[in-house]
Amino acid sequence: MHQVESYQKQLSALHSADEVDKFFKKIQSEEKNSEVLSSFALQTMKVFQAEQGYLTAYYCYRILSDHCKPEIIGDVKKIREGLPPLPGLRDYRTDYDELLALLENRAKGKCDCTVKTKYNTSPSDALFKIESQQSDQETYSTSYEVICKKCGQKWNVTEDSGYHYPVFGWKKSK
Ligand SMILES: [Zn+2]
């Protein structure tokens, strides 16, 4: 896993959030070996420090939830327990609660949508296809009709923009 160490070195040499953002976008588009990517994300989070900021934790969560198998549940539990609190509007550690729930759900052979729809996921998440959307100017809300690309389940989503960040309510449609 020579490449993993090389990525770790590159990441530790970065100093601004902007550089971290560019670095993760670059490796996500260029690294074709998903085992290298997920192993890098796992190693990075095992030694994660508050000074690194939430962006690293966010990208690693994205990589792990896109590429990981249930075998890493034990590692993710340990990572989640050790995550430091960070200032912010929402607790970034919720992402790791979702990741654990996703992995446990996958271990049972269930589709990711049953978990993602409980964790304020946006309908523009890659797992879903938006079939229609409608905005209501008076209530600052938008309704979507969405279909899960994996299992075909249809969902009705309501986006409420009256908060500091968008809040999504998901309901199964028949
Ligand atoms: Zn599904």
- Per-residue pLDDT tens for 12-66? 999 899 999 999 999 999 999 999 999 999 999 999 999 998 999 999 999 999 8
Q: Are 76 and 132 in a shared domain?
A: no
Q: Are 2 and 74 in a shared domain?
A: yes
Residue type, 155: W
- CA 128 to ligand 1 center in whole angstroms: 8
- CA 140 to ligand 1 center in whole angstroms: 28
pTM of the model: 0.86
On whether the CB atoms of residues 122 and 168 are closer than 8 A, the answer is yes
On whether the CB atoms of residues 101 and 121 are closer than 8 A, the answer is no
Q: Are 105 and 133 in a shared domain?
A: no
- CA 113 to ligand 1 center in whole angstroms: 4
- CA 16 to ligand 1 center in whole angstroms: 37
- CA 148 to ligand 1 center in whole angstroms: 5
Tally the domains of the chain.
2
The runs of H, that is alpha helices, within 68-110 are 73-82, 94-107
Give the three-class secondary structure for 150: coil
- CA 76 to ligand 1 center in whole angstroms: 23
Read off the pLDDT of each residue in 145-161 and give the average, rounded to a whole number: 96
Q: Which domain holds residue 131?
A: 119-174
Q: Are 128 and 78 in a shared domain?
A: no
Q: What is the pLDDT of residue 14?
A: 94
Residue position matching structure tokens 């989503």? 157
